[in-house]
Structure 1
Amino acid sequence: MSARSKFFSSGELRLHYREHGSENAEALVLLHGGMDHCRNWDFIAPVLARRWKVICPDLRGHGDSNADPSGIYEIDRYVLDLARLVDHAGLSKVRLVGHSLGGNIAIRYASAFPERVERLVAIEGLGPAPDKLEERERVPPGRRLREWIDERQAIERRVPRDYASVEEATARMSAQFPSFAPELVRHLTIHGLRLSAPGMWRWKFDNRVRGEGPFELGKAEREALWAAIECPTFLIYGAESWASDPAKDGRAAHFRDAMVVMHEGAGHWVHHDRCEPFLADLLTQLD
């Protein structure tokens, strides 16, 4: 069965998602990371769709979803969008898989609605390591706010880059992700571009999605959020990633039922670097 493009509303925004598999099957939602799009799951979703109805949304400001007019992309707004998508699709129970930003969104939704999430898989979705967050929290709040405002103004002044051809954009992505297979790079590029002017191409994501807010949950709040998740949780990490291992830094211990799964030979993009072993693990973890 071919994938179906659909839309739903979240406030004033029209958000896009792709649906794979039988409409009557149990639901599985795949959430992409920042500056990405729902088509990054195309090498995985068809296999998962043999068992589940697989829903792959474009986050606000990404892919074929509307940008936020305010240009402010805070995590709570993404979680709200996910809640509205689950309601729109009429799902009483759901399995969630998220990468990076998508993993963070999935974790927060599972904490807010523990009774509705049956399985949770977060691929490097816990955010910065504890030592990085502690370092950030030592910065006085007023200074953090000022630095955030300066960063926002710099982002808003930045002119998004245009490419004269799909090939030029593909070369740029290939240079940025040298571990990705050429066919994956081209696929991500083709579906990640839109025409910005005749003969010119630009990445679909809103350039303002970059950066983070000035204030985050404190240590005790983060730990309480993780502890509220009731379902089996799998924290997937790449052994060659920059990310901190939550089994070693203590974060995994704050979940009720969590397992850290490390993939050798993979970086931050575990599902791209080690697609087949990742998919084999995922099928086991979701059942």
Structure 2
Amino acid sequence: MYQAQKPSQSTFVPIRHLQYHVRQWSSPSTDQAPLVLVHGWMDVAASWQFMVDALQADRWIIAPDWRGFGLTRGPGPAPDSYWFADYLADLDLLLDHFAQERQIDLVGHSMGGNVAMMYGGVRPERIRRLVNLEGFGLPATKPSQAPGRYAKWIDEIKSLHAGDMALKAYDSPEGVARRLMKTNPRLGADKAAWLARHWAAPNAQGQWEILGDPAHKVINAHLYQVEEALEIYRRISAPVLSVTASDDSLSQWWKGTFTLAQYQERLQAVPQLQSEVIADAGHMLHHDQPHALARLIESFLG
């Protein structure tokens, strides 16, 4: 099994009626901006471990489990759908707690990359540098899609309550590791075995359940608004590093309805932009090429 070189410490912070689980590496420093890492959909903060181990500098790193993922929990029943704006508010209050008035370096992957980009335009004064790892946004939408979208949202909530959207459980952490390697063929068995024990946990029956609320599978009731996202991008004052993998995830997911070229065109709204590609990597590029990614990020952060 993979051996973590830089151990993390867990903290639980009360944020908006939730006990937010946050991993921290190293300790606060007065001469460096805190480095905040935010994970993607159906992932956890521990997923950053491989890249953190590859960083050369010793930095104070803060990585939360988003609401409904990992060990972040609330006192009552889980919601039956999630709203993107909540991630922005959660992040803002987490920074109030950890960074106070200090600017941060913010790195986000996938969904977390989308959060980072939107937050960077909503609270530009809080960000010193911003790194977006494959946080593409979504395909453009039209108002005519709204009736069907609301209907689908209602139908999926019904399906969730009927138990039809439950996540698969596994007999052992080895089963979870095999699932991770099936999803990402570049993930080595040693890393998969380590990650499985953070990505899932045993339930009362002894089966290993993924630490993600199935309600995250419910479609957003609101249509994605490209124009709104672009206006927020224009308000980002920090230098932005956009990192994509050599494997074209968008072509695999959207089959031509949303392309890498369209994403790169949207990024032209960002005032200060640097774009880079990580070779021999897929969407989970912080797993596939942690050392190459760490060098790239440290060079950009300075």
TM-score, with normalisation over the residues of structure 1? 0.91
Deviation at 1:151, TM superposition (A): 2.3
**What's the CA shift string for 1:24-69, capped at 9, x where partnerless?**
2530000011111011011122454834210011101111111673
Question: Are 2:53 and 1:38 equivalent residues in the alignment?
Answer: no
Q: Relative CO higher for 1 or 2, CA cutoff 8 Å, sep ≥ 6? A: 2
Q: CA RMSD in A?
A: 2.0
Deviation at 1:154, TM superposition (A): 2.2
Corresponding residue for residue 126 of structure 1:
136
Measure, in 2, the Cα distance between the counterparts of 1:160 and 1:238. Answer: 27
Indicate which of 90, 93, 112 corresponds to 2:99.
90
Q: Is the 8 A contact 2:44 2:70 kept in 1?
A: yes
- Report 1:37-76 matches (<5 A): 37-48=44-55, 50-66=57-73, 69-76=78-85
Measure, in 2, the Cα distance between the counterparts of 1:248 and 1:65. Answer: 31
Deviation at 1:86, TM superposition (A): 0.2
Deviation at 1:247, TM superposition (A): 7.5
Deviation at 1:222, TM superposition (A): 1.4
Question: Are 2:270 and 1:260 equivalent residues in the alignment?
Answer: no
Q: Is the 8 A contact 1:22 1:49 kept in 2?
A: no
Q: Is the 8 A contact 1:162 1:196 kept in 2?
A: no
Corresponding residue for residue 145 of structure 1:
150
Aligned residue identity for 2:169 = D
Q: Is the 8 A contact 1:20 1:49 kept in 2?
A: no
Q: Is the 8 A contact 2:146 2:223 kept in 1?
A: no
Measure, in 2, the Cα distance between the counterparts of 1:193 and 1:51. Answer: 28
Aligned residue identity for 1:253 = Q
Indicate which of 274, 294, 297 corresponds to 1:279.
294
**What's the CA shift string for 1:230-270, capped at 9, x where partnerless?**
00001111121322435874111110011221122211112
Aligned residue identity for 1:210 = K
Corresponding residue for residue 256 of structure 2:
none
Measure, in 2, the Cα distance between the counterparts of 1:30 and 1:152. Answer: 30
> Structure 1: which 5+ residue stretches go unaligned?
none
Indicate which of 86, 89, 107 corresponds to 1:77.
86
Deviation at 1:17, TM superposition (A): 0.4
Q: Is the 8 A contact 2:169 2:208 kept in 1?
A: yes
Question: Given the superposition, is the C-alpha separation of residues 235 and 155 from structure 1 closer, same or farther in structure 2, using an over 3 Å criterion?
Answer: farther
Measure, in 1, the Cα distance between the counterparts of 2:157 and 2:219. Answer: 9
Measure, in 2, the Cα distance between the counterparts of 1:51 and 1:286. Answer: 13
Q: Is the 8 A contact 1:252 1:259 kept in 2?
A: no
Question: Given the superposition, is the C-alpha separation of residues 89 and 115 from structure 1 closer, same or farther in structure 2, using an over 3 Å criterion?
Answer: same
Aligned residue identity for 2:151 = R
Percent of residue pairs bearing the same amino acid type: 27
Corresponding residue for residue 251 of structure 1:
266
Measure, in 2, the Cα distance between the counterparts of 1:262 and 1:247. Answer: 16
Measure, in 2, the Cα distance between the counterparts of 1:34 and 1:98. Answer: 11
**What's the CA shift string for 1:215-234, capped at 9, x where partnerless?**
24523211111000000001
